[in-house]
Structure 1
Amino acid sequence: SLAELYAKVMALLKRSKGMVRDEAIAVGDIRLDPYRCTVTVSGEEVILAPMEFAILKILMENPGQVMSRDRLLVRIWGYDFEGNDRVVDNHIKKLRRALGSAASQIKTVFKKGYKLEVE
């Protein structure tokens, strides 16, 4: 269910905040603070849903590296995800919309997945 999925993401985000107080990650115009769960683009705060935040965090931790849908699903939802892997595409679409001018940094790699391009 959606509520269960949301709870899992929030638990993962809380767990990651408690384990390590990471410094902010910056790639191009995007800055992500995993401790405060905030994202800014060119200094302007961007509001993301938990799933979009989690996907962006993974992409920013692996700049230039192609992340397959399956790999993203495992990292976020775990091995017990039983839905369609196309759910990632919907979250990427929402993420791009939220990032505005920085959306072009998220590249689709045909038949492979997604990557965050370092500009």
Structure 2
Amino acid sequence: MGARIAVVEDEEALGVLLRYNLEAEGYTVDVIARGDEADLRLKEELPDLLILDWMLPGLSGVELCRRLRQREASERLPIIMLTARGEESERVRGLSVGADDYVVKPFSTPELVARVRAMLRRAKPEKIATHLSAGDIDLDRETHRVRRTGREIKLGPTEFRLLEFFMQAPGRVFSREQLLDGVWGRDIYVDERTVDVHVGRLRKAINRGRQRDPIRTVRGAGYALDEHFSAGKAPKEAKEPREPRESKEKEQAAG
């Protein structure tokens, strides 16, 4: 999975344009047309980067940016502000409320995409890395190949995206709903039980013999990639039980 980007923009044509170009770069894009709706959505789940228009119905982009910076969960969220206001005083105002970058309309779409890429490289390097590693598992985003201890693992497209999603945030517990949004997308209706089926298939593919299962089931909450596995901490092997010394001596005497 690429990074998740939220675009808060009330101009429908511009929203469509940004979605098309960002998805072409491999990002997952949510377009929201109202500031008040965006405020509610961002309380539920944060994207990896926010593109925020200055003038919005319901709640202005400036006020939304200010609110996001006041919340602990979103105080470090990368924010690019879009606006038709090009005056220096307005740019200073946008940056003073917490925007990380400022783009004046009309703008060059390739330039905006380049700014998004540069900001993600600084803030979320794991989202744009070509290779992801966790423990003895290596995932190559470009070739769509997965290896474990050097052995290539054959995964279907959904299992690949699921593993990639887990590997981007080791230790974090994802609910089935969050996995559906992150792996399948908000626009596709899939029953939550489907998540269990694909997690089962992923486990079957990546685990062989006595290999440790890197996926942790959290009862009542969801699934996570075990952070101890990701850190490369091997599980302790079970030791064979020792026979009592007295038993051995009796056996030798009887022999």
Indicate the TM-score class for this superposition, using the shorter chain for normalisation.
Answer: 0.7 to 0.9
**Normalising by structure 2, what TM-score?**
0.38
Letter of the structure 2 residue corresponding to residue 75 of structure 1: G
Are 1:77 and 2:184 an aligned pair? yes
Contact 2:139 2:146 in 1 (8 A): yes
Q: Secondary structure at the match of 1:79?
A: coil
The structure 2 residue matched to 1:98, chosen from 205, 209, 216, is 205
The structure 2 residue matched to 1:66, chosen from 145, 170, 173, is 173
Q: 1 or 2, which has the higher helix percentage?
A: 1
Structure 1 counterpart of 2:123: none
The structure 2 residue matched to 1:57, chosen from 135, 145, 164, is 164
Q: Secondary structure at the match of 1:66?
A: coil
Structure 1 counterpart of 2:193: 86
Note the residue ranges of structure 2 that are not aligned, 5 or more in a row: 1-23, 28-116, 118-126, 230-255
Are 1:30 and 2:137 an aligned pair? yes
User: How many Å separate the matches in 1 of 2:170 and 2:154?
Assistant: 21
Count of residues in Structure 1 that have an aligned counterpart in Structure 2: 106
Structure 1 counterpart of 2:242: none
Q: Secondary structure at the match of 1:25?
A: strand
Are 1:117 and 2:226 an aligned pair? yes
Structure 1 counterpart of 2:155: 48
Cα distance change of structure 1 residues 103 and 51 upon mapping to structure 2, 3 Å threshold: farther
Cα distance change of structure 1 residues 103 and 53 upon mapping to structure 2, 3 Å threshold: farther
Contact 2:170 2:225 in 1 (8 A): yes
Contact 1:21 1:35 in 2 (8 A): no
Q: Secondary structure at the match of 1:104?
A: coil
User: How many Å separate the matches in 2 of 1:105 and 1:115?
Assistant: 8
- Taking only aligned residues, the RMSD between alpha carbons, in angstroms, comes to 2.3
Contact 1:106 1:115 in 2 (8 A): yes
What displacement does 1:104 show?
A: 1.0
What displacement does 1:103 show?
A: 5.5
Cα distance change of structure 1 residues 36 and 81 upon mapping to structure 2, 3 Å threshold: same
Identity %: 35
User: How many Å separate the matches in 2 of 1:93 and 1:53?
Assistant: 13
Structure 1 counterpart of 2:26: 16
What is the CA deviation profile of residues 70-97 of structure 1, one whole-angstrom value per residue up to 9, with x for unaligned ones? 1111112221232311101000000000
Contact 1:97 1:103 in 2 (8 A): no
Q: Secondary structure at the match of 1:16?
A: coil
Note the residue ranges of structure 1 that are not aligned, 5 or more in a row: 1-13
Q: Secondary structure at the match of 1:111?
A: coil
User: How many Å separate the matches in 2 of 1:89 and 1:74?
Assistant: 14
User: How many Å separate the matches in 1 of 2:212 and 2:192?
Assistant: 21
What displacement does 1:15 show?
A: 5.0
Letter of the structure 2 residue corresponding to residue 42 of structure 1: T
